[in-house]
Amino acid sequence: MHAQGQRRFCRNSKAGVISGALAWCQSLLSPAGLAHSLSLVCFLAQVILINVFLVQYLSSTVLLTMTIDVPLLLHLAWFWRVDSSYRAAPTQWFCYSWVHAAKVVVLFCRVMPRLTSSTPAVAEDVLRGSDFSINASYFQNLFSPTMLANLLLITPVFYALLMFRTSKAIFGSLSKRVTVDLIMHYDMLWHVVIDMVDQVDMFYYARLAEWVGSEALEQHKNSLVLIQTAVPFLLFFSMVLQAQAFPGVVTDKWSIPVETSASASGRRPSDMPPRLSVLSQGSAEQIEPTVRSSQTGQEALSRRPSHEISFSDRVSTGGVVHRKTTTGPGTERAWFERQERARRRRLQGVMNLIQRHNIIIARKRSAIASIFLIDIPFLTIRIWLWALLQHTYFPGLGIKNGLCIVLNVMQYTLVALASKESFKRIKREIAEYITRFHSGTLKEEAEGDSYGERSGQEEGEGGPPVDQSVSELMHQEQAHQ
């Protein structure tokens, strides 16, 4: 028997691996699957080449960063399905942003100044500065300033691919319909990508002494040193805060009633009060409601005579007493299955609204990071340098800084208004969901039942308080109406 069980396990494992491989190959035919493959290639290429630069100009100790890069690569490869990208992509982007920001600071301070251009400098190259130009080096030379800067330009490509997969997971077929959150999703994508290009442009300031000229270096040495000291701090903090410019990294928490399973405490489900589960990212894995107790109560209600059914019983079933013309376990089971499917569809709609609301939260944070850590500081440095060089050089991206400040300030009011409207809609949907499917929770809270808190204190298992109770949610909804 043991040998047969092992053979059966091996066959099932092989079948699962083969089916998974086939599903992955089929996903490559879709745009989201192709985006996943390209994101893997971009991440792997950038990590390998950056480590080559670090090992070449520092030491092999920098390979300790592989302890983070390798698990992140495995995580990125494992969650290849589109429906899982919304839960996985925020973690991937958050970890990537922090590690990448630290690497950029090291590259700015220890590697970029030591690189040599493969073409000799001429008089016309002075004050070319941070302009992107392939004339600065030959591409066959890997260890050149242009190649290192181009390597950092992989970051906006990686971000765009993750955002594309996330949009497919959130909107699905609705991505063909123009909505406010869809517009904000791609508006945030555009702004963040432009800011990343601006950061790479500012990365050239590591070679500031090379392209300002010897005369300006002698006259304004202290000012130029101060600029080069401030730039790496700005790059690090701006890249770290850009980790929040992704849907799902920072979320609001919503209280959803979930009935506690009977096996958790050894009591019958009908004897236990419902608890509140905090839902933040709208993930289906965070909600595991059990419906045995509600089904038991509805079964008992359907068997009782009509004159014994109270008003509270009618409220707990949505205000309608369901009568069945036929009896039997098969008919009752089919009826409860329909009710459960309706509940899950309603809950899935609420979760999708929460996911779309997280886009607006990310857009607000990306605007704040862009204004105060990228556009205003970078524009100040460029104007300062323009004044030091006696109005002889002003980069084109300085105009971008001024325009983006105006655009982000103008759009922030609209984003705040959209966030308020989305917040109201989610609260209304949760209140309707609770009223229809979990009205027993309202009754328990109205009576001030604190059975769960008392039992937790007696057993020494008191947990943190829930952010917002259902009764408060209902009162706020009535006040808004």
According to the model, what pLDDT value does residue 22 have? Answer: 76
43: CB partners within 8 A, 6+ apart: 72, 73, 76, 96, 158
* pLDDT interval class at 399 (50, 70, 90): very high
414: CB partners within 8 A, 6+ apart: none
Distance CA 200, CA 150 (A): 8
Q: Which amino acid is at 6?
A: Q
Average pLDDT over residues 285-310: 43
**Ordered DSSP codes for 387-421:** HHTTTS---THHHHHHHHHHHHHHHHHHHHHHHHH
The neighbouring-strand residues paired with 256 are 277
Average pLDDT over residues 395-405: 92
Two structure tokens written together for 442: 């309202």
Distance CA 56, CA 112 (A): 12
Distance CA 240, CA 369 (A): 10
Distance CA 227, CA 233 (A): 10
Average pLDDT over residues 117-130: 48
**Contact by Cβ (8 Å): 246, 158:** no
Secondary structure (3-state) at 130: coil
- Which segments of 28-133 does DSSP mark as H helices, in order? 31-57, 66-78, 85-106
Residue 164 confidence (pLDDT) above 90: yes
Secondary structure (3-state) at 436: helix
According to the model, what pLDDT value does residue 67 have? Answer: 94
Report the largest interatomic distance among the alpha carbons of the chain, rounded to a whole angstrom: 99
Q: Helices 221-241 & 180-203, crossing angle to 10 degrees?
A: 150
Average pLDDT over residues 36-46: 95
Buried residues in 11-50 as b, exposed as e (16+ CB within 10 A) = eeeeeeeeeeeeeeeebeeeebbebbeebbebbeebbebb
261: CB partners within 8 A, 6+ apart: 269, 290, 292
Q: Which of 233-247, 277-291, 336-350 is the least confident region?
A: 277-291
Q: Which of 151-165, 168-182, 252-266, 426-440 is the least confident region?
A: 252-266
According to the model, what pLDDT value does residue 13 have? Answer: 64
Which one-letter DSSP state was computed for residue 250? B
Q: What φ, ψ does residue 133 adopt, rounded to 5°? A: -150, 130
Q: Which amino acid is at 128?
A: R
Mean pLDDT across the chain: 76
Tracing tokens 């205003």 back to the chain, one arrives at 376
CA dihedral of residues 140, 146, 149, 150 (deg, nearest 10): -50
Average pLDDT over residues 27-41: 89
According to the model, what pLDDT value does residue 39 have? Answer: 95
Within 10 angstroms of residue 345's Cβ, the number of other Cβ atoms is: 9
Of 103, 41, 101, 36, the residue nearest 66 (C-alpha): 103
Residue 126: left if φ>0, alpha if ψ -120 to 50, beta else—which one?
beta
* pLDDT interval class at 404 (50, 70, 90): very high
State pLDDT tens for residues 330-352.
788 888 888 888 888 888 889 88
Of 192, 167, 174, the residue nearest 359 (C-alpha): 167
Within 10 angstroms of residue 434's Cβ, the number of other Cβ atoms is: 20
* pLDDT interval class at 134 (50, 70, 90): very low
Distance CA 292, CA 339 (A): 12
The larger pLDDT score, comparing residue 5 to residue 284, is at: 5
**Contact by Cβ (8 Å): 194, 404:** yes
**Contact by Cβ (8 Å): 236, 102:** yes
The larger pLDDT score, comparing residue 26 to residue 241, is at: 241
